[in-house]
């Protein structure tokens, strides 16, 4: 089982400091962002521009994700244990049951295949 990682990235550092507006501004210069396995536990990430961010295997335990639009993000293998997700959008491949299992029990998100 993977452990949460502190990533060596200036964009990751901005989010760890909860400077979401700084991240959103600087992200435009970087294109797709790789935050696989990142540790986002307990952070306030409201207003985050998560477009084209790869959060695979990331940890969001007790993070505030209210209103975040993850529809164009990768979340496979991420854990949302006890995260606040009210108003958040998720990729259509994730079922509501899968999201609730992750929030309530910390299971990793698995994408539905067709």
Residue 36 zone, left/alpha/beta (φ > 0; ψ -120 to 50; rest):
beta
Identify the pLDDT of residue 22.
97
Say whether 64 sits in a helix, a strand or coil. strand
Domain with 35 in it: 1-114
Identify the pLDDT of residue 4.
85
Tally of structural domains, the chain: 1
Mind listing the pLDDT tens digit of every residue in the chain (114 residues)?
578 889 999 999 999 999 999 999 999 898 789 999 999 999 999 999 999 999 999 999 999 999 999 999 999 999 999 999 999 999 999 999 999 999 999 999 998 765
Query: How far, in Å, CA of 13 to CA of 9, rounded?
Result: 6
Identify the pLDDT of residue 5.
87
């Amino acid at each position: 089982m993977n452990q949460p990682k502190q990533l060596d990235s200036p964009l990751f550092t901005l989010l760890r400091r909860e400077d979401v507006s700084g991240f959103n501004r600087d992200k435009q210069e970087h294109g797709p962002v790789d935050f696989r396995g990142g540790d986002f536990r307990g952070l306030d990430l409201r207003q985050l521009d998560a477009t084209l961010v790869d959060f695979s295997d990331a940890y969001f335990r007790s993070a505030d994700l209210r209103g975040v639009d993850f529809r164009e993000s990768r979340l496979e293998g991420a854990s949302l244990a006890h995260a606040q997700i009210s108003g958040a959008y998720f990729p259509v491949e994730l079922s509501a049951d899968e999201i609730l299992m992750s929030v309530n029990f910390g299971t990793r998100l698995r994408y539905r295949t067709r």
